[in-house]
């Protein structure tokens, strides 16, 4: 028996129930790597407790109902780290330090990072370096830090509902990007030093696609050398991003959003970019503002079609 996984058999049938695995980088637990614990978990999933330490591994989770729980006193005590890039791995998607495709994923109290650009210059091509790519539905990430530079966090998969709460996300170019239905609550979004910073590059492809990003009661902060900060630019022509009750503590380019043409056509006329009750130096009432009634459409339960992500622990 590993951790608390147990097996029972009755007549000719046998079932396995997921329990708790423990991982420690020093080898003092059930497993030394997180990937080994994930691989050992049954198809029904499992809860993996991770002791403080640095776990340098390229982690892939394609099973449903996997939970990663850092056991340190803070999120920085448990670090999942790697340093691939689009140039070294053969594409942005392949660069991810952590890749999650299983539904009902849960993570708390840990850090996911891609360190590729920490000691290398940011280039126009090949420097995309993803900390987390996540496509699973009904995913919850609570008190997780995402560290990177270009393309840090990749919440993607049209219709996939992903809830980020009490998280810290940093980067400089398109550092939250993709086409998931992602909701960010009480998160700090931090722009790193760069000449031009784009916080989001949401990629909703057509009007009927179940896709968009909502930031609710978040904080936008930045390094002093983040020269010009935009709320985002459209990776696809129907890009959808809404900021609700967000404290924009750093100055934001007055127009808020930057054009990104596709097939020679401007995209800003077809996107949905809006705000509701923004505050701080970066707020600008001249940008599109939602009414009280319009803002209700982007509340957590409404946005997730009734799924109460806040109750998942």
Which residues are known catalytic residues?
A: 151, 174
Task: Give the separation between CA 201 and CA 241, rounded to whole angstroms.
Answer: 9
For residue 133, how many other CB atoms are within 10 A of its CB? Answer: 23
The values of phi and psi at residue 94, to 5°, are -75, -10
Name the one residue in this structure whose structure tokens are 């799924």. 307
Is residue 151 within 8 Å of residue 123, measured between CB atoms? no
Name the one residue in this structure whose structure tokens are 């609550």. 185
Is residue 185 within 8 Å of residue 218, measured between CB atoms? yes
Task: Give the separation between CA 295 and CA 276, rounded to whole angstroms.
Answer: 7
Task: Give the separation between CA 300 and CA 185, rounded to whole angstroms.
Answer: 9
Cα distances (angstroms) measured from residue 255 to each of 110, 128, 260, 265: 35, 26, 14, 19
DSSP 105-137: -EEEEEEEEE-GGGSS---SSS----SEEE--S
Element (H, E) at 295: helix 292-296
Paired tokens of 6: 């147990």
Burial tier of 134 (Cβ tally within 10 Å: 0-12, 13-18, 19+): buried
Task: Give the separation between CA 182 and CA 141, rounded to whole angstroms.
Answer: 11
């Amino acid at each position: 028996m590993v951790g608390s996984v147990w097996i029972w058999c009755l007549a000719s049938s046998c079932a396995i129930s997921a329990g708790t695995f423990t991982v420690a980088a020093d080898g003092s637990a059930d497993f030394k790597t997180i990937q080994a614990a994930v691989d050992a978990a049954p198809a029904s999933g499992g809860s993996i407790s991770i002791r403080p330490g640095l776990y340098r591994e390229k982690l892939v989770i394609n099973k449903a109902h996997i939970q990663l729980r850092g056991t340190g006193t803070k999120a920085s005590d448990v670090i999942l780290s790697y340093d691939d890039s689009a140039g070294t791995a053969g594409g942005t998607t392949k660069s991810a330090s952590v890749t999650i495709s299983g539904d009902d994923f849960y993570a708390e109290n840990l850090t996911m990072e891609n360190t590729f650009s920490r000691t290398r210059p940011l280039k126009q091509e090949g420097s995309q370096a993803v900390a987390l790519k996540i496509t699973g539905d009904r995913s919850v990430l609570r008190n997780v830090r995402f560290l990177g530079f270009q393309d840090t966090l990749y919440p993607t998969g049209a219709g996939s509902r992903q809830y980020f709460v009490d998280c810290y996300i940093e980067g400089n170019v398109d550092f939250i990007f993709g086409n998931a239905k992602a909701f960010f609550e009480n998160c700090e979004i931090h722009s790193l030093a760069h000449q031009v910073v784009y916080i989001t590059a949401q990629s909703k492809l057509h009007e009927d696609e179940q896709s968009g990003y909502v930031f609710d009661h978040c904080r936008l902060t930045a390094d002093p050398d983040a020269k010009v900060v935009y709320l985002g630019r459209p990776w696809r022509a129907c890009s959808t991003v809404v900021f609700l009750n967000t404290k924009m503590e750093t100055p934001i380019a007055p127009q808020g959003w930057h054009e990104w043409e596709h097939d020679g056509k401007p995209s800003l006329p077809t996107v949905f970019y809006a705000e509701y009750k923004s505050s701080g130096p970066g707020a600008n009432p001249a940008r599109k503002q939602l009414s009280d009634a319009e803002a209700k459409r982007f509340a957590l339960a409404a946005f997730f079609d009734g799924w109460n992500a806040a109750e998942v622990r």
